[in-house]
Amino acid sequence: MSAIALGIHGGCGVMPREEMDEAGWAAARVDLARALRAGWGVLRGGGSAVSAVEAAVMVMEDSPHFNAGRGAALNIDGEPMLDAAIMDGATLAAGAVSAVGRTRNPVRLARALMDAGESVMLTGPAADRFAETHGLPVVDPDWFITDRQRAALARMKARRAAGATATEAEKHGTVGAVALDADGHLAAATSTGGFTNKPAGRVGDSPIIGAGTYARDGACAASGTGAGEFFIRHVVGHEIASRMRYLGEDVATAASRIVFEDLAPYRIGAGLVAIDGAGCVVTPYNTAGMFRGWITAEGRMHVATHDEVFVVEA
Ligand code: ASP
């Protein structure tokens, strides 16, 4: 029996404290804790790391506080276009979906695709149809749209019309989870709406296996958040695993190297959660904040948005 452990993120970014009142930040932390409990319940019951990351991500997809599922960022046409992926570190099986517009929980769709075993990636309306034919809940696209994201899109368009562009670090969000189960297996899952005002048809790093989502037993599981184009170019998840496998680096060193050195020259917002085979969870980020949380083998649960880390009842 291996130790069990779980880590999550709900996206990195500028996250100005004045954007929400203290009750708003506290509500986001409550949902982080709910996501952790969902995944932890699976692991404690002897469930797989894959099921744990799926359960944790689903809670964050359903929460309006994060840029995934309900509350996802809207693209230039005002549409939610969702990306998600899941990967099993034991088998390297993976499922990924992009530009989904009607599937309530894109991570469940990614899981169903992985379990079906034929394709690794589906995109657009065909991916939504796969969800329907596999009995997963589908919703009207309006279900994903919140007032907060409508306002964010309007602000972004107004700024663009005025000739100002958002910095990379202002646009972020995504949710993700990594886990180690009692059988010693690792898994990762990620789900996102991308970024506000993104081009129609744009696909980010989250559903790209090896970039925003990666898991490999014997190395690590990782889920990223930040400017996806750079995560794709640096194949971030796979790079962390490779540094661990080929250079013998520990997960903290390998993950920090990517976030604080390799991605630094681009001045982009970047963060991630990663876990190794011993259950060590790391959450490096280079922005003002990152929604995040983790539970270690002793069952102690931590959640945070900015620097301060809160220990809460598991
Ligand atoms: N990585 C996500 C994407 O590029 C967005 C984010 O995490 O901010 O789609």
pLDDT band at 169 (very low <50, low <70, confident <90, very high): low
Question: How far is the centre of ligand 1, averaged over its atoms, from the C-alpha of 182 (Å)?
Answer: 30
The per-residue pLDDT for range 150-161, each reduced to its tens digit, is 998 998 888 888
Question: How far is the centre of ligand 1, averaged over its atoms, from the C-alpha of 1 (Å)?
Answer: 35
Question: How far is the centre of ligand 1, averaged over its atoms, from the C-alpha of 45 (Å)?
Answer: 32
Residue 172: count of CB within 10 angstroms of its CB: 28
205 lines ligand 1 (CB under 6 A): yes
Residues designated catalytic: 174
237 lines ligand 1 (CB under 6 A): no
Residue with CA closest to ligand 1 atom 7: 225
Mean pLDDT lowest for which of 21-25, 85-89, 144-148, 168-172? Answer: 168-172
Ligand 1 closest atom vs CA 11: 7
Ligand 1 closest atom vs CA 198: 9
Local structure of 279: helix, strand or coil:
coil
pLDDT at residue 168 is higher than 60: no
| Predicted pLDDT at 115 | 98
B/e letters for 121-147, b = 16+ CB within 10 Å, e = fewer, are bbbeeebbebbeeeebebeebeebbbe
Residue with CA closest to ligand 1 atom 5: 194
| Predicted pLDDT at 18 | 73
| Predicted pLDDT at 270 | 95
Question: How far is the centre of ligand 1, averaged over its atoms, from the C-alpha of 114 (Å)?
Answer: 22
204 lines ligand 1 (CB under 6 A): yes
| Predicted pLDDT at 78 | 97
CATH of the domain at 278: 3.60.20.30
Mean pLDDT lowest for which of 83-87, 189-193, 221-225, 285-289? Answer: 285-289
Where in the sequence is the domain holding 137, given as residue range(s)?
A: 5-312
In the chain, how many domains are there? 1
CA 13 to chain centre: 13
Contact criterion met (CB below 8 Å) for 286 and 270: yes
Question: How far is the centre of ligand 1, averaged over its atoms, from the C-alpha of 111 (Å)?
Answer: 20
11 lines ligand 1 (CB under 6 A): yes
B/e letters for 268-305, b = 16+ CB within 10 Å, e = fewer, are bbbbbbbbbbebbbbbbbbbbbbbbbbbbeeeebbbbb
196 lines ligand 1 (CB under 6 A): no
